[in-house]
Structure 1
């Protein structure tokens, strides 16, 4: 059983307490990050759209998507350690400037009709890597500019910001691509520039030097691995995230084969973002009423029931409804999982354990993109959706067998002595 851990409010440094709307540094951090997230969202989907709509192969589209998501596998763990050692404000500035230069180069290449797959893959990988560093640095910086009592409200605003950016960025990126292929990249360049200006105005307290010994990635990996119940849940969520990334890429191919506008893809993704917003609210209600093991079972069973509908539909409205539903379930489960992880993890392990969680849950998306690209070369989109639905059904069965038994209940109660969240 773990010893008592500090709450977020207790762990946060003491700063002068003013309303968040009057906290100059939080507002610059929030605005700069919002602009940065929007910039990333505008261009994220455009990378694969450029490949698909310019006549590139499905494997090439999968490779570019894989490159964009690969940093979630390769960069998460070292980034978590390095962000604790380096000046976090400087990390954020370098990441914004680096992404600005990379996206500007893609804008010029697409505008000049000089699209080169390796160039797209390199920039996508670089943007993804710097996004990982930025997110970790930004999350840690919030704790230094906001009083502990206001930290929950600040994190809630940040979560709403991310969900809102998904809602605005994906459909707008699709619409801009429909106007001209370089438009989403040009828009991202402008937003990164605005983000850089905001971040230059940010001032943060002096940061204590990070420890270089005993604080490596191995400690976080060992902590997670030693908790069977926790690591099993992470692996199952990783499997479902792999399938969701495959759904997104397959959807793009379906819309292209129907000879519809790329803006339709953005609108379907927007429906998923709305589902995510609703799910974030539902998650707070859900987590107070159900044990984490039961949330896992309900979520996977619901996904297994919803995903087969992808096989039998071809209408954008139906796709939007399905993506809304899967995203709602996913966001609610994510909120529950984040609360659970925060409660069972000692304060001095939060960063390293968090990077392991992100590695497993988000890093699986990169493998989903790569595998789906090859799958779509071998089978039709309907057959691809069939494979995904079958795998999700298998995950649901495994989840039920794993978490409905007495052993799972004992494991959950043994984790910091808690049976319910």
Structure 2
């Protein structure tokens, strides 16, 4: 074990058990990403509050939400290819700069007391597009800065970070918005700047080669490889489709609850407090995710989570008080974070290193892309039938998803598929050396298997 700040691990034998804090590059990656996530949470929630309180139009708020989530549908797949081709650290730095400039334009326009829905929607789209690239790059880099034995803990730590930021960022955004509409956007600009300064210090990795004996393929062919890799794993594919449906439901729940608070005369800060309750539940769920992942198979986690969601979500139909809604978000987010930790660890573990970007993009397309449709559809649904009936609809959809999960993951052969897919990872080399050497290459056998 070298003594250069704890970043090198012997490539032979088992590395000694150490805390994640002993890995310098993981600390920098975690810290820089925490500030970037906080910046996005502050401005992302403020987009919805700004449009909803300025126009009093649920459909306009839904349109902005749709624009912010649309990159999950349009950008994911090409982003995954580019993340596998480019230097991931430089991709992250570029994303931070673009987001910082885009959000700054909103702050400047608000200083002049000007609000255009098309402008807010455009900035939301740009920020979310860069976030897609950033998240794929960050998740792929985790394997380069921690040893395989620490991968699950690292993923749980990252998810706990995001949930903790939700807990702090949402009420902070609501409170700042209550003081001045431009304040959360200027705060985001400052946080993006701090994130950039941190990521610049990250050693990262060298530019990835196209692969031994291979020429770089066209983007369409690379996308097809990622899609085929996911499609060939039936258990994994079904889990992703069911989670996509639940994400659509939760996006509808978030927007509907914001409208409920406004209808009942609540302040924008109340929405932030409700979201903060969900952030606290998510934080605790993320911390429990590693424990849960060690004791239950993925199919058991999927069934348990969706049945629990189906049981608690109808409470929103009958209880409109902010405290009750906060408790509901605490419970649902607690479950969701545990599922996310298990799912991320599962995906990163079974995916070859040079396909992390492409496979991650397919996963995000399925599980998050549906959220954009949820935001757009819910805005019009609320205006058409009202908040109470909209909540009835989303609750019924969750009940259907729970039934599908129970049928799919208890069918004959589901247990065998779970074990087979979860036990087939090509293991990476422990950690890239401190001088920035490239992450572990796959063996020729693995490359042939990936390329068909």
Normalising by structure 2, report the TM-score.
0.84
Q: Provide the rounded CA distance (Å) in 1 between the counterparts of 2:421 and 2:28.
A: 38
Q: Label 1:273 to 1:284 Cα distance change in 2 as closer, same or farther (>3 A).
A: same
Q: Provide the rounded CA distance (Å) in 1 between the counterparts of 2:301 and 2:313.
A: 18
Counterpart selection for 2:217 from 180, 188, 213: 213
Counterpart selection for 2:248 from 223, 236, 242: 242
Q: Provide the rounded CA distance (Å) in 1 between the counterparts of 2:160 and 2:26.
A: 15
1:32 CA drift (Å):
2.0
Q: Residue 87 of structure 2 aligns with which residue?
A: 87
Q: Is the 8 A contact 1:110 1:181 kept in 2?
A: yes
Q: Provide the rounded CA distance (Å) in 2 between the counterparts of 1:295 and 1:28.
A: 32
Deviates more, 1:403-412 or 1:364-373: 403-412
Q: Provide the rounded CA distance (Å) in 1 between the counterparts of 2:182 and 2:165.
A: 20
Q: Does 1:288 align with 2:294?
A: yes
Q: Residue 74 of structure 1 aligns with which residue?
A: 74
Post-superposition Cα deviations, 1:130-167, rounded to whole Å, max 9, x if no partner, equal 01111222233344444556555544443332222111
Q: Label 1:204 to 1:118 Cα distance change in 2 as closer, same or farther (>3 A).
A: same
Q: Residue 310 of structure 2 aligns with which residue?
A: 304
Q: Residue 449 of structure 2 aligns with which residue?
A: none
Post-superposition Cα deviations, 1:343-389, rounded to whole Å, max 9, x if no partner, equal 44444443322221111111111111011011111011011000111
Q: What runs of 5+ residues in structure 2 fail to find an aligned partner?
A: 1-8, 425-452
Give the alignment of 1:277-356 within 5 angstroms.
277-356=283-362
Give the SS at the match of 1:203. coil
Q: How many residues align?
A: 409
Q: Label 1:161 to 1:409 Cα distance change in 2 as closer, same or farther (>3 A).
A: closer
Q: Label 1:247 to 1:406 Cα distance change in 2 as closer, same or farther (>3 A).
A: same
Q: Label 1:401 to 1:229 Cα distance change in 2 as closer, same or farther (>3 A).
A: same
Q: Provide the rounded CA distance (Å) in 1 between the counterparts of 2:98 and 2:353.
A: 32
Q: Provide the rounded CA distance (Å) in 2 between the counterparts of 1:11 and 1:222.
A: 32
Give the SS at the match of 1:216. helix
Q: What runs of 5+ residues in structure 1 fail to find an aligned partner?
A: 1-8
Q: Label 1:22 to 1:294 Cα distance change in 2 as closer, same or farther (>3 A).
A: closer
Q: Is the 8 A contact 1:267 1:320 kept in 2?
A: yes
Q: Is the 8 A contact 2:277 2:329 kept in 1?
A: yes
Normalising by structure 1, report the TM-score.
0.89
1:295 CA drift (Å):
1.9
Q: Provide the rounded CA distance (Å) in 1 between the counterparts of 2:307 and 2:18.
A: 45
Q: Residue 264 of structure 2 aligns with which residue?
A: 258
Q: Provide the rounded CA distance (Å) in 2 between the counterparts of 1:256 and 1:164.
A: 26
Q: Residue 106 of structure 2 aligns with which residue?
A: 106
